[in-house]
Structures are given as C-alpha cells and as structure tokens.
Structure 1
Amino acid sequence: MPPPDCPPGGPIAALIPAALPRPRPVPAPVGDLPPGPPAPSTAAPPGSPGTGPAIYAIARLNRSGQISAAGVMSALGWAAGDLITVTVRHGAILVRPTGHGRRAIGADSALVLPAAARRMCAIGAPSAVLLAALPDADLLIIHPIATLARLLARRHTQILERPS
C-alpha cells in the first residue's frame, strides 16, 4: 500500500534521480591571425618536429561517424589494418599510429571517429571536417569545419577592413 502522500499510480519522486546537466562542448578558442599579407613559411624551424608542410583535405562523416581519408593516409604512409589511437586536444581529434590498441584503419583508408570524441569536438554526423596530415609528426588532426569557418570569417573581416 502506498503512503498517504503519494498519488495512486504515480511515480515516487524520491526514487527518480534528477537529470544531470550536460553542457555542450565549447569550441577551442582561436588566436588572432597575423595582420600582414605574408604567408607563413613552410619550412620548419630547427628543433620543431611536426611543423613541416601539412596536407589538407575536407571529408564528410557518414551517419556512423566514418570518414574516407585515402589521400591523407597515403601522405602519412598509413595503410588499412594499421592500429591507431584517437584522442581529443584543444577541440580537435588527434589520430596517431600505435603498435597496439583496439582501433584500426579500415578498408579503403576509412576511419571511424568515436562518438565521444565527436561530441567533445561538436562534430555532428553527417558533417564535414578538415583533415590536416602532418607527416613529420606522424599525426592526423581532424578539425570541426566550424573552426575553419571561424578562421576564415576573421580573415575575411581583416581583408574587408584593410584593402591592399
């Protein structure tokens, strides 16, 4: 028999936990762009591993979070079956080869980005992402397309404010 203060057939509030708030991930801050027109050098400064030339591509995630990255995989020298590790840093997904692990590069150089990593970087599926392969660092960085849009919006503002 339910207690007298409980409505018949209704849930008992003390037994139903309150929903925990789940804040949306905040994209990483993007620094200011250099004001002048000179392009950055493609040569890496001495003692700066991984800052050499990068290979870029835009890819689209399918609904299961998979992307095809054949061009950047070949630039990195990675192949189907290679074991990888996936981490998140500064609002981007980092993929590195490892000699162990549970994740591997799929057939046709396909990568499945873990749902947790996609959520942490505010990457929805289907969605476009910017792939940045850094062969000198043996690293693939996957940026949300929103990061590229913010950088370009700032650059476009600079261009419109300072005609050459």
Structure 2
Amino acid sequence: MSIAVLDAGGRLQDQGAVAALGWSPGDRLLITLIKTSVVIHRHADGVFVMPRKPYVCLPATVRRACGVDAGARMLLVADAEHDVLVVHPEPAVQAMLRTFHATLATEEAS
C-alpha cells in the first residue's frame, strides 16, 4: 500500500506497487472504474500496455470519472494474490474511513 501523486499525464509513479505485483514492460492491462475507484489487472485482452518504466497511467476518461486532476493523491493497494492494483482517490479513502470510524463510535457506545 502506498500513496502516489497523479501527474498531468495521468501517471502514478510507484515502483513498489508494480514490483509487488511482478508486472513487467509489455504486460497488457485492463483498467476498470468501479464507482470512484480504479481496478487494474493484467489481462491478455487489455487495451493498455505496461511501459518500460514501472508506473501505471490512468486514462483521461477514468481521471474525469474519478474527479481527479494532476496533483491528486491516490492510495495504491497492490494485491499480489489476485494480481490486481486498486487505486482510490483521496475522497473515496476519506469516505471509507468515515464509515469505519462511525462503526467504531457505535461499538464504543454499546
């Protein structure tokens, strides 16, 4: 798990996440938007190709749908067991934490 800053070209340069997954240059990637988070995994029919340098790039349509611009901080979660990288924009992480914290308050009250 790491935090990366989105650059103007949509790149998230995080060598650790890519290395943890064992992705290599030329691997084909499928990028799927689920609500406001992005799920990336290797797939033979993937439209996107892992570049020579170890980073992933979010297409402009995905960035717009997530509501993120250059400079946005993104949480990258690499799941090697499922060969997937999940990218969460900061507002999605904040919403998840608010929900979790509300359950803590409920448990504390009981």
TM-score category of the 2 structures, normalised to the smaller one? 0.7 to 0.9
Pairs aligned (count):
108
Larger % of helix: which? Answer: 2
Specify which structure has the bigger relative contact order, considering alpha-carbon pairs within 8 angstroms and separated by 6 or more residues.
Answer: 2
CA distance in 1, matches of 2:43, 2:96: 31
Q: Which one of 100, 104, 108 corresponds to residue 49 of structure 2?
A: 104
1:74 aligns with 2:50: no
The structure number with the bigger radius of gyration is 1
CA distance in 2, matches of 1:64, 1:130: 18
Runs of 4 or more off by more than 6 Å in structure 1?
Answer: none
User: Following TM superposition, by how much is the alpha carbon of 1:100 offset from its aligned partner in structure 2, in angstroms?
Assistant: 4.1
Identity of aligned residues (%): 27
Tell me the C-alpha RMSD between the 2 structures: 2.1
Native 8 Å contact 2:13 2:56 kept in 1: yes
Uncovered stretches (5+) of structure 2, i.e. residues with no partner: none
CA distance in 2, matches of 1:89, 1:157: 23
1:58 aligns with 2:6: no
CA distance in 2, matches of 1:150, 1:128: 15
1:146 aligns with 2:91: yes
Output the TM-score relative to the length of structure 2. Answer: 0.82
Deviation digits for residues 71-103 of structure 1 (CA, Å, limit 9, x no counterpart): 011111112221211111132111111224442
Output the TM-score relative to the length of structure 1. Answer: 0.57
